């Protein structure tokens, strides 16, 4: 362990202060994305936890941080929980603060989901990806049968809140550890988040689903899992690895879920081998992005009614509104076709809120727009993007009614916990896109 707890620093992510530390001076940058909740300074008080961090710091410049709402970072309102997208912004803010252009990413448990989304969205910033105890979603479905069913998950959350003030039941996280370890772990959790925040964050991660993102990851990936993990089944880790192109899955004998329980050296040995043997590949030609299409409803009739000059003036005002909102929500304008815009975003919630703001803005001009959004893998072609995801987004937009923002189920899954509300618009066939697609209308953003 370092002779003293490393210095805690802060950087801004949006309006919030995110706490971070930098340890070690190895040849590669490695950012550790913790699980559910964490506390930067208390990590070093637990010998087993400190041993893991010290070993990682011996091979890297190790970057640590507390997610918003936990540990030493700013709290968040319990009725406005952070989304994966916003937490991903925290990773980016910390990397920027330490002047890191590219890093290896090591994600544990829920932190693995953030790591997956970050690696897919910013492939140029991720040299390698390591995941431990990771899952793809936290609620049962027929095609993902290992996660708990909703009623079981609800009971788990209720029991956690009820026992937060006492030694909570941690047998699922560290079954083979002694009672002294479990008491220290319970204390660490209590000092990492309030009971309301801890429970709210559990409810948030219950809604997360990153299954659609896995095939987009390009970074060399290692997925680690204990055979006897009770909290997250080994089948889940294997399932995740099978869907990440080229990922290597390593199953180790043990029953822990907590990173610093059990044979921690066997975990770090695998991570070290994976990271120190990585070579930087070619520039990424694929990226996960949210595509947004908008166009004016009834534009031909409007142009005929107003005449060329007045219509051109109105169109210029429409374009100004769209560009203002794209800048506000960090969208990237890629093309204009007549009165329609095509833009991309690095997060689906921003795309939805931008579309709603555009609709509100142009309504004051006497115009109605329809909008459609989809998140998927896009090919980078110079300054342009292309691919099936782009075609899908365009077809989703074509199904929207006047004043409506319509999204694919992929978008809906990725903004879970954002407060955005939807109405199911049923299954649709999209011209030129295989299969049936369930679409959702945004009713509150």
According to the model, what pLDDT value does residue 338 have?
Answer: 77
Quote the CA–CA distance of 253 and 248 in Å, as a whole number.
17
Share the mean pLDDT of the chain. Answer: 91
CA distances, 379 to each of 216, 246, 387, 388, 430 (Å) = 11, 19, 6, 9, 20
Q: Phi, psi at residue 254, to the nearest 5°?
A: 160, 170
Torsion of CA 22, 27, 33, 34, to 10 degrees: -70
Sign of CA dihedral 407, 412, 414, 420: positive
Summarised one tens digit per residue, pLDDT across range 171-198 is 889 999 988 898 899 999 999 998 888 8
According to the model, what pLDDT value does residue 283 have?
Answer: 58
Is residue 284 scored above 70 in pLDDT?
no
Is residue 357 scored above 80 in pLDDT?
yes
Joined tokens for residue 264: 């921690």
CA distances, 347 to each of 2, 31, 185, 444 (Å) = 37, 21, 34, 17
According to the model, what pLDDT value does residue 250 have?
Answer: 97
166 touches 195 (CB < 8 A):
no
According to the model, what pLDDT value does residue 204 have?
Answer: 84
Q: Tell me, rounded to whole angstroms, the distance of Cα 263 from its chain centroid.
A: 29
Query: DSSP H helical segments within 39-123, as ranges?
Result: 40-43, 47-58, 84-97, 110-121
Is residue 407 scored above 90 in pLDDT?
yes
335 touches 378 (CB < 8 A):
no
CA distances, 352 to each of 128, 358, 368, 410 (Å) = 30, 10, 16, 13
According to the model, what pLDDT value does residue 1 have?
Answer: 43
Higher-confidence residue: 250 or 178?
A: 250
367 touches 346 (CB < 8 A):
no
Q: For the residues 47-53, what does the mean pLDDT come to?
A: 93
Summarised one tens digit per residue, pLDDT across range 226-239 is 999 999 999 999 99
Q: Name the packing angle between helices 110-121 and 84-97 (round to 10°).
A: 70
> What is the model's pTM?
0.82
Domains observed in the chain:
9-276 (3.40.50.1820), 286-444 (3.30.70.1230)
Q: For the residues 36-51, what does the mean pLDDT come to?
A: 93
Burial (Cβ within 10 Å: 0-12, 13-18, ≥19) of residue 355: buried
What is the secondary structure of 25-47 as a DSSP string? --SEEEEEE-SS---HHHHTTSH
């Amino acid at each position: 362990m370092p002779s003293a707890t490393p210095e805690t620093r802060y950087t801004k992510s949006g309006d919030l202060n995110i706490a971070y530390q930098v340890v070690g001076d190895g040849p590669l940058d490695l950012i550790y994305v913790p699980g559910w909740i964490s506390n930067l300074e208390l990590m070093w008080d637990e010998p087993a936890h400190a041993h893991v961090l010290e070993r990682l710091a011996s091979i890297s410049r190790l970057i640590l941080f507390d997610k918003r709402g936990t540990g030493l970072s700013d709290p968040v309102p319990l009725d406005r929980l952070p989304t994966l997208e916003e937490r991903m912004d925290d990773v980016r803010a910390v990397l920027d603060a330490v002047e890191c252009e590219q890093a290896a990413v090591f994600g544990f448990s829920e932190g693995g989901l953030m790591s997956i989304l970050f690696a897919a969205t910013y492939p140029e910033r991720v040299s390698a990806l390591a995941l431990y105890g990771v899952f793809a979603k936290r609620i049962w479905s027929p095609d993902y049968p290992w996660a708990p069913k909703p009623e079981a998950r609800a009971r788990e959350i209720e029991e956690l809140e009820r026992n937060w003030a006492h030694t909570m039941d941690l047998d699922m996280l560290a079954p083979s550890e002694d009672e002294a370890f479990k008491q220290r772990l319970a204390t660490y959790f209590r000092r990492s988040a309030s009971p309301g925040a801890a429970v709210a964050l559990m409810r948030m991660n219950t809604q997360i689903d990153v299954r659609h993102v896995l095939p987009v990851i390009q970074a060399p990936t290692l997925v680690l899992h204990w055979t006897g993990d009770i909290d997250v089944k080994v089948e889940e880790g294997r399932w995740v690895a099978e869907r990440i192109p080229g990922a290597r899955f390593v199953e180790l004998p043990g029953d822990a879920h907590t990173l610093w329980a059990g044979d921690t050296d066997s975990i770090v040995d695998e991570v070290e081998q994976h990271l120190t043997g990585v070579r930087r590949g070619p520039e990424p030609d694929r990226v996960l992005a949210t595509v947004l299409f908008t166009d004016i409803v009834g534009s031909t009739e409007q142009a005929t009614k107003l005449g060329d000059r007045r219509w051109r003036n109105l169109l210029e005002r429409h374009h100004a509104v769209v560009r203002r909102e794209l800048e506000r929500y960090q969208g990237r304008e890629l093309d204009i076709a007549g009165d329609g815009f095509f833009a991309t975003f690095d997060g689906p919630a921003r795309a939805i809120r931008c579309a709603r703001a555009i609709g509100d803005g142009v309504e004051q001009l006497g115009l109605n727009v329809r909008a459609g959004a989809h998140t998927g893998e896009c090919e980078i072609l110079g300054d342009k993007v292309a691919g099936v995801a782009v075609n899908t987004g365009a077809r989703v937009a074509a199904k929207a009614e006047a004043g409506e923002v319509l999204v694919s189920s992929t978008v809906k899954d990725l903004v879970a916990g954002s407060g955005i509300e939807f109405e199911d618009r049923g299954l649709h066939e999209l011209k030129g896109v295989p299969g049936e697609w369930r679409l959702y209308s945004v009713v509150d953003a």
